Amino acid sequence: MIHRIAIAALIAGLTAQLLKVVIEMLRTGRLNFLRFFDNGGMPSSHTALVTALTIGVGRYAGISSPLFAITFLFSLYFVFEAAGLRQEVGKQARLLNELADELRQTHHLDRKRLKELVGHTWNEVFGGFLFGVLVAAVAFR
């Protein structure tokens, strides 16, 4: 049987992904369910998942346990990677796409565009954190 902590973390991550579909539909007026499978956007599902996971481990193993320390550090790593490194990758992809668009017109370049939305802004990370706390509060009350 899957542990309650894992269930709460998965619910936080998957529901955050679903929220991205809803938020984009409210923003654009169009339903794009493929947004569920994309990276980036509000809220950060990575952050929501690791926040619920860390809170669950803290609740069940205690915040002074080695398991909590490991979970907490890995969660911080995930968050900083999602907002830092992957955000920079998205900026580079945007620039390369602009260059490739110019080359398509002059040199008949036949390449797919790179995925630009791969990282998170700090606001999206904060939204994911708040959502993870909310899911954990409901799951572990």
pLDDT digits (tens, 9 = 90+) for 102-121: 777 776 666 676 565 666 78
Please say if the pLDDT value at position 51 is more than 90.
yes
Which candidate, 43, 66, 46, 58, places its Cα nearest to that of 123?
43
Amino acid code (one letter) for 8? A
Q: Domain range for residue 8? A: 4-139
Please say if the pLDDT value at position 28 is more than 80.
yes
The chain-wide mean pLDDT, for the chain, equals 86
Rounded average pLDDT over 66-71 = 97
pLDDT value at position 40?
76
Number of domains in the chain: 1
Whole-structure pTM value: 0.77
Token pair listed for 101: 């668009």
pLDDT value at position 109?
65
More confident: 13 or 121: 13
pLDDT value at position 42?
85
55-64, 78-87, 129-138, range with the lowest pLDDT: 78-87
Please say if the pLDDT value at position 69 is more than 80.
yes
Rounded average pLDDT over 6-22 = 95
Question: Which H/E stretch holds residue 89?
Answer: helix 86-107
Q: Which parts of 29-65 fold into alpha helices (H)?
A: 45-61
H helix count then E strand count, the chain = 5, 0
